[in-house]
């Protein structure tokens, strides 16, 4: 650490007034530092941390996006402080609890148990006929469940109890029905026919919508109470239980939260559990004030820390996703070779992690090294699935999907011809094809089909019909399975996975791939090992089968998992828009800048809640009117929900563009919409024809036509 005097001299150097105020503000208050992209929040935060450390105040630094956390940590290190980590919230919860924290996913799983009796229609109200099953939104149970969960989280975070929620629902219904002038609103020519039909409903339909709305409120209240009973405040236990919170506060009286606008209800609840409801000693920095936070002091940064120079911008619209990805990859190769721009200084940013998949394929084809920054789903990755299928075949050989995959993995590489034979019954007459079987008989027959592959693989029933290569491979695989099974019972999870990946030859195969794919594959496997390790820590008595079930569940939910792998400086970064905060690159490609991709289409939830207007159910289940309830349309128009959503998306898009220091590419694909309800960001930029902005779409169109 630097000497105190040097530090004081340099701490405020080069900062604007807002940043200086942020650095100098008292440490023991609740401070909010608000600023847009490039306003210098990260710099101010880093120096504020340095100030606290130099004053021997214990510091806790928290962040969200992995990229942003790494960047903040790097900046703090550059300022001479090497022993401060930027933690994730879930890491903190786990560390404080000294036992598995009840993460959001776990709470959601519990909520899913709470809602099962509703889905089973097992509530006595249904039996008694007190509750109409046509509850708005319930026709799509999974969506209803997700939306109910999100709403309940928000209610809890806002400190609204179930009773208060129900009371508000009744009050809100009173405020709306009979008072809102729907006919007048319906004359608004900005409305769609669908919206207008929803507004123009007769009194009977409106009365029915009111009744259903209040029934929905009763249902949600009951679910809210069930969840509270289920978790019993446990999700905060890691921080609040015993002396842990107090001990933490003594050790780290000063806390800094970067990208605080991304805080989830849990995160704020955890902070409150640690620092009290007034968040004394907490500095929250973000693009906007975190919901429900009342700061002692608020500092708004308005300066442009990065300076006014705009990056040179290129616009491009491709006919399809593959052409867009090809353009991006070719440009990156050109920039790297002709202009010697290091790959680590190039980023491809999409609205969400999966938006870079096409580019990733092009990189792999051209052997361009790449890396995912930030959270991505892991359990749908091909190499991860390969390892799990090989290990899983040993553990659950009856799982035909996994077994089929294992047999196709590169080390085994059975042909389609062999797979076909392995799935056929070994001998005896073929089952009749058009038999009129009863249900019971049909189940048995299907069961037989399902077991055939497993039986043929494990028992070698059709080995004699296979080629020499196939038979030898199958025999080897068959011999390995019991051994792997034993190792799966004996070894720690991660070690077992490494063993199978190595002994099967999957790792050796991976190393034969071109460098970019090899490196990516190894990174993904390292992430898998981290997940296995964390799972073992959280579930010390779990089996490999439990881990497989967890992997399947996470894949089905498309859970994006964070990771702490270091950044490679010679690989192009692929990241999602929300992970890009705090990052800068020489060159940024903002891809998929078209409606349905960035921004994604606005899709309202099944219901909203407003303290003033109560529950606003979306689905109109009555015959009269349009597909949405009158109140929902009224509320959407009044609150300008779609406009606000697209404004947030626009802000995020601008934040992505601001990641570029020198060169910015904005690309999209497909035919642009008319942008009546949803903006087309690329088309807006093309239409603006700003100086210094190059639109290369036309040149490529000629090439495609020639092709």
Partner 1 sequence: METLPDRPSAGLFAQLPADQQEPFAASRPYFSASQLNTFANCPRQYFFRYLCGAVEDDGTYFTRYGTLVHRALERFHEEYRRPHEGDPVTMEQRLLTLIDDVFRANAKEFTWAVQAELGRIKARKVARHYVRWLVARARREPFETVAIEGRQLLDLEGFSFVGYIDRLDRSLQSGEITIIDYKTGNVAESAYAYREKVRAGADFQLPFYYWARRAQGDRVASLALVQLKDPRLPVEPLEVRIVAEAPAHADVRSKLGVVTESELERSRSAMIDLCERITKTGITRYDVGDDPPCDYCVYAGACRERPAPGAAEFAR
Question: Considering the rule CB under 8 A, would residue 446 count as an interface residue with partner 1?
Answer: yes
Q: Which parts of 610-639 interact with partner 1 (CB under 8 A)? A: 623, 627
DSSP, collapsed to helix, strand or coil, labels residue 373 as coil
Contacts of 398 (CB under 8 A, 6+ apart): 450, 451, 454
What number of other Cβ atoms are within 10 A of residue 517's Cβ?
Answer: 19
In our burial notation (b when 16+ CB lie closer than 10 A, e otherwise), range 451-489 reads ebbbbbbbeebbbeebeeebbebbeebeebbeebbebbe
Q: Residue 355 or 679: which CB sits closer to partner 1? A: 355
Contact region for partner 1 (CB under 8 A) — 243-251, 273-281, 301-309, 499-507?
A: 499-507
Q: Residue 146 or 234: which CB sits closer to partner 1? A: 146
For the bound state, the minimum distance from the C-beta of residue 522 to partner 1, rounded and expressed in Å, comes to 6
Question: Considering the rule CB under 8 A, would residue 264 count as an interface residue with partner 1?
Answer: no
Among 289, 529, 559, 641, binds partner 1 (CB under 8 A): 529
Among 419, 513, 559, 672, binds partner 1 (CB under 8 A): 419
Which 8-state DSSP code applies to residue 352? S
Question: Considering the rule CB under 8 A, would residue 644 count as an interface residue with partner 1?
Answer: no
The pair of structure tokens assigned to 595 is: 């409606």
Q: Residue 239 or 494: which CB sits closer to partner 1? A: 494
Question: Considering the rule CB under 8 A, would residue 506 count as an interface residue with partner 1?
Answer: yes
The pair of structure tokens assigned to 144 is: 């209803």
User: Residue 57 and residue 26: Cα distance in Å, rounded?
Assistant: 12
User: Residue 115 and residue 108: Cα distance in Å, rounded?
Assistant: 10
Question: Considering the rule CB under 8 A, would residue 553 count as an interface residue with partner 1?
Answer: no
Q: Residue 367 or 511: which CB sits closer to partner 1? A: 511
Question: Considering the rule CB under 8 A, would residue 703 count as an interface residue with partner 1?
Answer: no
Q: Which parts of 31-90 interact with partner 1 (CB under 8 A)? A: none
For the bound state, the minimum distance from the C-beta of residue 492 to partner 1, rounded and expressed in Å, comes to 7
Question: Considering the rule CB under 8 A, would residue 675 count as an interface residue with partner 1?
Answer: no
Q: Residue 55 or 443: which CB sits closer to partner 1? A: 443
The CA-CA-CA angle for residues 342, 348, 354, to 5°, reads: 140
Among 78, 601, 644, 694, binds partner 1 (CB under 8 A): 601
Question: Considering the rule CB under 8 A, would residue 222 count as an interface residue with partner 1?
Answer: no
The number of angstroms, rounded, from the C-alpha of 537 to the middle of its chain's C-alpha atoms is: 23
Which has the closest alpha carbon to 41: 647, 581, 458?
581
The number of angstroms, rounded, from the C-alpha of 430 to the middle of its chain's C-alpha atoms is: 48
Q: Residue 270 or 516: which CB sits closer to partner 1? A: 516
For the bound state, the minimum distance from the C-beta of residue 354 to partner 1, rounded and expressed in Å, comes to 4
Question: Considering the rule CB under 8 A, would residue 193 count as an interface residue with partner 1?
Answer: no
Q: Which parts of 559-578 interact with partner 1 (CB under 8 A)? A: none
Among 177, 535, 602, 700, binds partner 1 (CB under 8 A): 602
Contact region for partner 1 (CB under 8 A) — 1-9, 170-178, 258-266, 408-416?
A: 408-416
Among 480, 567, 637, 672, binds partner 1 (CB under 8 A): 480
Question: Considering the rule CB under 8 A, would residue 426 count as an interface residue with partner 1?
Answer: no
Question: Considering the rule CB under 8 A, would residue 507 count as an interface residue with partner 1?
Answer: yes
Contacts of 5 (CB under 8 A, 6+ apart): none
Contact region for partner 1 (CB under 8 A) — 81-89, 333-341, 487-495, 664-672?
A: 487-495
For the bound state, the minimum distance from the C-beta of residue 446 to partner 1, rounded and expressed in Å, comes to 5
Cα-atom radius of gyration of the chain, to the nearest Å?
A: 29
Q: What count of Cα atoms within 13 Å lies in the side-chain half-sphere of residue 610?
A: 16
Question: Considering the rule CB under 8 A, would residue 192 count as an interface residue with partner 1?
Answer: no
Question: Considering the rule CB under 8 A, would residue 401 count as an interface residue with partner 1?
Answer: yes
User: Residue 197 and residue 622: Cα distance in Å, rounded?
Assistant: 13
Q: Residue 494 or 630: which CB sits closer to partner 1? A: 494
Residue by residue, what is the 3-state secondary structure of 508-521?
Answer: HHHCCCCHHHHHHH
Question: Considering the rule CB under 8 A, would residue 427 count as an interface residue with partner 1?
Answer: no
CB 460 within 8 A of CB 475: yes
Question: Considering the rule CB under 8 A, would residue 597 count as an interface residue with partner 1?
Answer: yes
User: Residue 183 and residue 203: Cα distance in Å, rounded?
Assistant: 12
Do β-strands 585-590 and 572-576 pair in parallel, antiparallel, or remain unpaired? Answer: unpaired
Question: Considering the rule CB under 8 A, would residue 600 count as an interface residue with partner 1?
Answer: yes
Contacts of 106 (CB under 8 A, 6+ apart): none
User: Residue 293 and residue 284: Cα distance in Å, rounded?
Assistant: 9
Which has the closest alpha carbon to 40: 3, 14, 5?
14
Binding mask 136-175 for partner 1 (x = CB under 8 A): --xx-x----x-----------------------------
Q: Residue 518 or 661: which CB sits closer to partner 1? A: 518
Q: Which parts of 93-122 interact with partner 1 (CB under 8 A)? A: 118-122
Q: Residue 1 or 121: which CB sits closer to partner 1? A: 121
Which has the closest alpha carbon to 283: 269, 265, 297?
297
For the bound state, the minimum distance from the C-beta of residue 103 to partner 1, rounded and expressed in Å, comes to 19
Question: Considering the rule CB under 8 A, would residue 481 count as an interface residue with partner 1?
Answer: no
Q: Residue 78 or 511: which CB sits closer to partner 1? A: 511
User: Residue 152 and residue 155: Cα distance in Å, rounded?
Assistant: 5
Placement of tokens 């070719």 in the chain? 330
Q: What count of Cα atoms within 13 Å lies in the side-chain half-sphere of residue 211?
A: 13
Which 8-state DSSP code applies to residue 460? -
Number of residues binding to partner 1, judged by CB under 8 A? 100
Question: Considering the rule CB under 8 A, would residue 262 count as an interface residue with partner 1?
Answer: no
H or E element: which one contains 184?
A: helix 182-186
For the bound state, the minimum distance from the C-beta of residue 692 to partner 1, rounded and expressed in Å, comes to 30
Among 302, 476, 486, 543, binds partner 1 (CB under 8 A): 476
Q: Residue 77 or 450: which CB sits closer to partner 1? A: 450
Q: Residue 103 or 400: which CB sits closer to partner 1? A: 400
Which has the closest alpha carbon to 625: 175, 45, 210?
210
- Listed in sequence order, the DSSP H helices in 460-514 are 468-490, 493-504, 506-510
Question: Considering the rule CB under 8 A, would residue 414 count as an interface residue with partner 1?
Answer: yes
Among 13, 416, 464, 691, binds partner 1 (CB under 8 A): 416
Q: Which parts of 339-378 interact with partner 1 (CB under 8 A)? A: 350-355, 357, 360-361
Question: Considering the rule CB under 8 A, would residue 535 count as an interface residue with partner 1?
Answer: no
User: Residue 146 and residue 112: Cα distance in Å, rounded?
Assistant: 9
Among 10, 415, 461, 610, binds partner 1 (CB under 8 A): 415
The pair of structure tokens assigned to 33 is: 């530092």
CB 620 within 8 A of CB 198: yes
Among 509, 544, 607, 608, binds partner 1 (CB under 8 A): 509
């Amino acid at each position: 650490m630097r000497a105190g005097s040097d530090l004081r001299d340099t701490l405020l150097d080069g900062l604007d007034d807002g940043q200086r105020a942020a650095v100098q503000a008292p440490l023991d208050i609740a401070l909010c530092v608000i600023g847009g992209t490039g306003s210098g929040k990260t710099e101010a935060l880093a120096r504020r941390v340095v100030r606290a450390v130099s004053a021997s105040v214990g510091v806790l630094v928290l962040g969200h996006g992995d990229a942003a956390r790494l960047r903040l940590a790097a900046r703090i290190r550059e300022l001479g402080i090497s022993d401060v980590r930027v933690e994730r919230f879930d890491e903190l919860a786990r560390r404080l609890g000294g036992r598995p924290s009840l993460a959001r996913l776990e709470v959601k799983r519990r909520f899913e148990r709470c809602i099962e009796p509703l889905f089973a229609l097992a509530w006595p109200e249904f039996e008694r006929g007190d509750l109409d099953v046509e509850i708005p939104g319930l026709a799509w149970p999974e969506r209803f469940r997700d939306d109910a969960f999100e709403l309940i989280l928000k209610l809890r975070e806002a400190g609204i109890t179930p009773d208060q929620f129900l009371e508000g629902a009744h009050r809100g219904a009173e405020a709306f029905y009979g008072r809102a002038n729907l006919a007048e609103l319906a004359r608004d020519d900005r409305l769609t026919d669908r919206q207008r039909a929803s507004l123009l409903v007769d009194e009977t339909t409106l009365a029915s919508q009111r009744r259903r709305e209040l029934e929905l409120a009763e249902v949600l209240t009951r679910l809210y109470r069930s969840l509270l009973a289920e978790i019993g405040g446990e999700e905060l236990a890691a921080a609040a239980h015993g002396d842990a919170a107090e001990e933490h506060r003594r050790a780290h009286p000063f806390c800094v939260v970067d990208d605080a606008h991304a805080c989830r209800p849990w995160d704020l609840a955890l902070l409150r559990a640690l620092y009290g409801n007034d968040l004394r000693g907490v500095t929250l920095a973000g693009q906007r004030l975190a919901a429900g936070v009342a700061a002692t002091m608020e500092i708004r940064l308005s300066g442009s820390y990065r300076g006014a120079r705009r990056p040179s911008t290129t616009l491009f619209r491709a006919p399809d996703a593959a052409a867009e990805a090809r353009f991006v990859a070719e440009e990156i190769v050109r920039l790297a070779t002709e202009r010697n721009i290091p790959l680590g200084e190039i980023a491809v940013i999409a609205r969400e992690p999966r938006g870079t998949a096409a580019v990733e394929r092009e990189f792999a084809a051209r052997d361009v090294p790449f890396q995912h920054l930030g959270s991505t789903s892991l359990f749908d990755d091909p190499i991860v699935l390969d390892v799990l299928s090989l290990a899983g075949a040993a553990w659950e050989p009856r799982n035909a999907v996994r077994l089929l995959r294992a047999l196709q993995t590169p080390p085994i590489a059975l042909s389609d011809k062999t797979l076909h034979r392995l799935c056929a019954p070994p001998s005896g007459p073929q089952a009749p094809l058009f038999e009129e079987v009863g249900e019971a008989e049909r189940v048995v027959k299907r069961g037989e089909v399902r077991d055939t592959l497993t039986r043929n693989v494990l028992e070698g029933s059709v080995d004699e019909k296979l080629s020499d290569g196939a038979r030898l491979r199958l025999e080897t695989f068959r011999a390995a399975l019991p051994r792997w099974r034993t190792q799966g019972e004996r070894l720690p999870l991660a070690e077992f996975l490494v063993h199978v990946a190595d002994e099967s030859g999957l790792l050796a195969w991976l190393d034969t791939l071109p460098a970019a794919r090899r490196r990516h594959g190894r990174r993904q496997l390292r992430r898998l090992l981290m997940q296995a390790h964390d799972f073992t820590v959280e579930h010390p008595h779990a089996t490999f089968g439990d881990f497989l079930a967890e992997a399947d569940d996470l894949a089905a939910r498309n859970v994006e998992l964070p990771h702490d792998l270091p950044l490679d400086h010679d690989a192009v970064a692929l990241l999602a828009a929300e992970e890009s905060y705090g990052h800068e690159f020489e060159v940024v490609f903002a891809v998929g800048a078209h409606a349905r991709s960035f921004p994604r289409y606005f899709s309202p939830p099944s219901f909203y809640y407003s303290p003033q207007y109560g529950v606003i159910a979306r689905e109109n289940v009555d015959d009269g009117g349009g597909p949405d309830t009158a109140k929902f349309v009224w509320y959407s128009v009044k609150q300008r929900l779609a406009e606000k959503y697209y404004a947030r998306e626009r802000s995020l898009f601008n934040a992505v563009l601001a990641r570029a220091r020198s060169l910015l590419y904005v690309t999209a694909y497909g035919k642009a919409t008319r942008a009546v309800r949803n903006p087309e960001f690329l088309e807006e930029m093309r239409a603006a024809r700003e100086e210094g902005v190059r639109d290369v779409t036309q040149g490529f169109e000629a090439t495609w036509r020639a092709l």
